Structure 1
Amino acid sequence: MEYLNMTIVVIYLVAMLGFGWWGKSRTRNASDYLVAGRRLGPLLYTGTMAAVVLGGASTVGGVGLGYTYGISGMWLVVAIGTGVLLLSLLFAPTIQRLKIYTVSQMLSLRYGSEATKVSGIVMLAYTLMLCATSTGAYATIFVVLFGWDRALSIAIGGIIVVIYSAIGGMWSITLADMAQFVIKTIGVFALMLPFSLSAAGGFDGIAERAGSEFFNITGIGAQSIITYFVVYTLGLLIGQDIWQRVFTSRTPEVARWGGATAGIYCILYGVAGAVIGMSASVILPDIASRDDVYADIAINVLPIGIGGLVLAAAVAAMMSTASGSLIAAATVARTDVLPYVRSWTTRRDARSATTGTRIHTKPAGNAEAHDVTASRWWVFGLGVTAIALAIVVQDVVAALTIAYDILVGGLLVSIIGGLVWKRGNGLGAGVSMAVGTLVTLGTMIYLEVNAENQYDGIYANEPIYFGLAASAFVYIAVSFASPPTSPAVMSAWEDRVAGNVPDDEAPGVEASAGGASALPDRP
């Protein structure tokens, strides 16, 4: 009967390839490939936003935390849901109206400064490591279910994600994510939660056999709760993988309320995962690793067939994060990083004959810069790279932590500052990113060298705290001490924020004589 569970998972994997071909039929241009034509309505947008943020850490990890810490194991996923809520209610409508493709483009448009282009490199590192981490995570399900070697599991699962992502881009990923959202909802809320809770004797049975401390909302510890909010909530506000989903929404209202609905869903998902883990601690008290709890419940507690669907839900959660981060990495690499690296050796029209400068940020909106075929090759190439990283690098989580810390400690202030503070300028943003990144890395290295345990090293919170503080101080001080952003740049920015730019117009602004900041034409 175990073969039935295996068959269900195999059918799911084949279906993901089918969604790739289905999405290909809807992909006619670069906008379709990268942001699903900016046409997603409330249902598709809500489902795909929830799918991309609820990965292996939220599903398998959330259940494992509930197994160890009780109801307080929910805080990791609650922090993720809170990040989605804040992004959606505070910033998503503005982000949607920009009609861009990357976070780095927002910085270029807002500040008109070449200093902000380095953000693309940081974002690429973050999205690539997130993809590698997710790829390694869903391979653990294949190891348990099929008995495959870890490297083979990573390769097979990764190839499936790369194929359906590369074929149809964001449309394929959106359709696959919607299916994954449905499977996760059924698997966790309709099947796993009631079956496991019933087998544990309900909440009374859990309290009787596990103790009332399992219902302590802060049982996991204040330090861990703070960590989740600092890392995940703040990271979600500025991550390219999340912003790229915002870009897919049809209207600012869809971005706000569809995203808010997804945030609430995430919070409920976190509570459900913690309760499932609490139930498992009573039913299966001797599980050695909390990362195995989810799979053990599916195989040993749930009926045959239902267990297969639940395992497919776990794979769905991890694949949705992997595919979302993969296309985000490809978009950043092609749109931001490649032109920036080329500019180190090739400068064309760096400055105009006058003091003014032409600012061109033309990403995937034009065929020359972002044709679909080339984008497919970027997705394929970075997907293979992520698979190799997942196989070769044993501590991918440490690499992801470093990328997350730099993302938040180095870039958060300049990005959010650009959205909310008009006086912030390009020089302040550029220096802020440099100082925040250096302080974050420096603190991390110092703590790692002098670490007495893992919480004092790379995984400590202090690097983000110091990086954010230094970044904010420098951003404000330098912005006040230097001239404000050029009126021409600010005027173009405000037009775009107001939604006065047609959907098919590539981001760009012309600044004539009068002291506009310098941004060279892209090669």
Structure 2
Amino acid sequence: MGILDTVIIFLYFAVLIAVGIIGSTKAKTTEEFALAGRNLGLFMYLGCLSAVILGGASTIGTAKLGYEFGISGIWFVTMIGLGIILLGTFFIKRISKYKVTTISELLGKKYKSEARLITAIVASIYTLMVAVTQVIGMGTIINVLLGWNLTTSMFVGGGIVLFYTILGGMWSVTVTDIIQFVVMTIGIFAIMLPMSIVKADGIGNLLTKLPESHLSLTSIGYQQIFQYFLLYTLGMVVSQDIWQRVFTAKNPSIAKKGSMYAGLYSIAYALAGSIIGMCALIILPNIDNTQNTFAMLALKILPTGILGLVLASVISALMSTASGTLLASSTLITNDILRQYFIKDISDKKFLVLSRVTTLAAGLLAITFAVWIQDVLVALDVAYAILSGAIFVPVLLMFFWKKSTANAGFYSILASTVVVIGGLLIEGLSSTNPIMYGIVTGFVVLVGISLLTNYRNKASLVGSFSNTKQG
């Protein structure tokens, strides 16, 4: 990579660090640190939501899938977009009625405090794992571009994200997300996609030279498509990093419209990424590690200066999701675990300090895990499997079934979490079955205990009435 491209990327890093410093002057309360004061308009909300859902796994992963499976690679990110559309259509109006900070806090209000604790643990692990995938992606990109050691690359990328997130919280994350949203939109749609098609000698040549299977929407396999639905469509509906963005909107109307637009943007992003991967197969037919498809294609086809901008867009996507999920994880830990069970009487000023310290600890842990795990899609699958299998059913029935009871919700979350983790350990991290086991277990336990509890309460009420009448 040329000196000019390197300078552009480092200037971009410098801007993000500057935003973090400025953001530290804005985040004076815990609500401002966690939710940017609940005051975002439509464009700001759309930008930061789109930036957080389309991270490194979306960009790098979709290009990889497009290279391996063709147009069928769209399903990964398309299912993410579908999840956001479902969230906006059916859930946001109901969520907005509650002035809460986390999904576990809301579940605690509906069910019981123990449900809040176990949900916070599960959701914080999930968000931390998503942050890990982004650090892996940053390390991979920086390693390819600058030739640095992979571990060093992860520490540099992760360290920058950690710096501005600790200082400004959601204020810094929001401002950097808007920058990143603009940069990644220009980089993918205005530069990388058209130039990839041109270098592949046009769409006509692409359709002629690609294997026939690469032109099929189902070549990736129905089982894999269904797995993406279970992992990402259901996962988006109950994801704390997404909910935390929802809570930043100025009103429910903005939250709903912004979510719908972000979902549609994700589907367009999926199509662009898959086509870029397909072009890479024609231009670079012998890539050994397909996880490097996007970076290697960019190095091959883009001129000096433009290359730096496009690669900054990829790093943007990685950093925006990393900062959002990192903040979500620390918010869950501080708000639903530490404050509820260990440090109950604490001033807002001290709680803000605690939030920053927790964010630091979570960030260092994410970087450490990233050094151990190398495949972004595998790490992401594990995170979403636990989330979808353990929490989706209790959240769904909380809003749409009035007979659910407190104990039923708690035991549903507990049982399905155990089943999903056990299933992953027994059947393997890539198996879809544990998610289904968890969903079925959660549904049976929640409905069964709720019906039994309601029956006993009704029988007790009838007995009391009968005794009163006889007396």
Instruction: Please say which of residues 57-66 and 87-96 is displaced more in the overlay.
Output: 87-96
Alignment partner for residue 381 of structure 1, among 335, 338, 361? 361
CA drift of 1:129 comes to 1.5
Check 1:370–1:40 CA distance in 2 against 1; reply closer, same or farther (3 A cut): farther
Alignment partner for residue 417 of structure 1, among 397, 401, 405? 397
CA drift of 1:340 comes to 5.2
Aligned-residue sequence identity (percent) comes to 39
Aligned residues: 457
Deviation track 1:454-486 (CA, whole Å, cap 9, x = no partner) reads xxx2210000011111110111111111149x9
Structure showing the higher helix proportion among its residues: 2
Q: Aligned pair 1:25/2:60, yes or no?
A: no
Check 1:298–1:42 CA distance in 2 against 1; reply closer, same or farther (3 A cut): same
Instruction: Please say which of residues 473-482 and 435-444 is displaced more in the overlay.
Output: 435-444
Aligned mates of 1:29, 1:233 — CA distance in 2: 33
Aligned mates of 1:141, 1:443 — CA distance in 2: 33
Check 1:165–1:115 CA distance in 2 against 1; reply closer, same or farther (3 A cut): closer
Aligned mates of 2:441, 2:2 — CA distance in 1: 55
CA drift of 1:33 comes to 0.8
Contact 1:56/1:318 (CA < 8 Å) preserved in 2? yes
Q: TM-score, normalised by structure 1?
A: 0.84
Aligned mates of 2:398, 2:226 — CA distance in 1: 26
Alignment partner for residue 477 of structure 1, among 448, 467, 470? 448
Contact 2:105/2:116 (CA < 8 Å) preserved in 1? no
Contact 2:30/2:348 (CA < 8 Å) preserved in 1? no
What SS does structure 2 have at the residue aligned with 1:423? coil
Contact 1:389/1:396 (CA < 8 Å) preserved in 2? no
Aligned mates of 2:64, 2:425 — CA distance in 1: 30
Q: Aligned pair 1:78/2:49, yes or no?
A: no
Partner of 1:8: 8
Partner of 1:510: none
Check 1:218–1:469 CA distance in 2 against 1; reply closer, same or farther (3 A cut): same
What SS does structure 2 have at the residue aligned with 1:12? helix
Q: Aligned pair 1:429/2:409, yes or no?
A: yes
Check 1:194–1:393 CA distance in 2 against 1; reply closer, same or farther (3 A cut): closer
Partner of 2:434: 463
Check 1:278–1:365 CA distance in 2 against 1; reply closer, same or farther (3 A cut): farther
Deviation track 1:94-151 (CA, whole Å, cap 9, x = no partner) reads 2233121111110111224534421111111111111122112111111111111111
What SS does structure 1 have at the residue aligned with 2:286? coil
Gaps of 5+ in 1: 344-363, 448-456, 487-523
Contact 1:30/1:370 (CA < 8 Å) preserved in 2? no
Aligned mates of 1:113, 1:156 — CA distance in 2: 39
What SS does structure 1 have at the residue aligned with 2:24? helix
RMSD: 2.1
Instruction: Please say which of residues 384-393 and 312-321 is displaced more in the overlay.
Output: 384-393
| Aligned residue identity for 1:479 | S
Q: TM-score, normalised by structure 2?
A: 0.92
| Aligned residue identity for 1:328 | A
What SS does structure 2 have at the residue aligned with 1:25? coil
Counterparts of residues 242-281 of structure 1 (less than 5 Å):
242-281=242-281
Aligned mates of 1:327, 1:22 — CA distance in 2: 17
Contact 1:19/1:164 (CA < 8 Å) preserved in 2? yes
Aligned mates of 1:140, 1:127 — CA distance in 2: 20
Check 1:115–1:70 CA distance in 2 against 1; reply closer, same or farther (3 A cut): closer
Contact 1:116/1:429 (CA < 8 Å) preserved in 2? no
Aligned mates of 2:39, 2:194 — CA distance in 1: 36
Partner of 1:47: 47
Aligned mates of 2:345, 2:307 — CA distance in 1: 45
Contact 2:20/2:172 (CA < 8 Å) preserved in 1? yes
Contact 1:73/1:220 (CA < 8 Å) preserved in 2? yes
CA drift of 1:339 comes to 4.1
Counterparts of residues 52-67 of structure 1 (less than 5 Å):
52-67=52-67
Check 1:281–1:401 CA distance in 2 against 1; reply closer, same or farther (3 A cut): closer
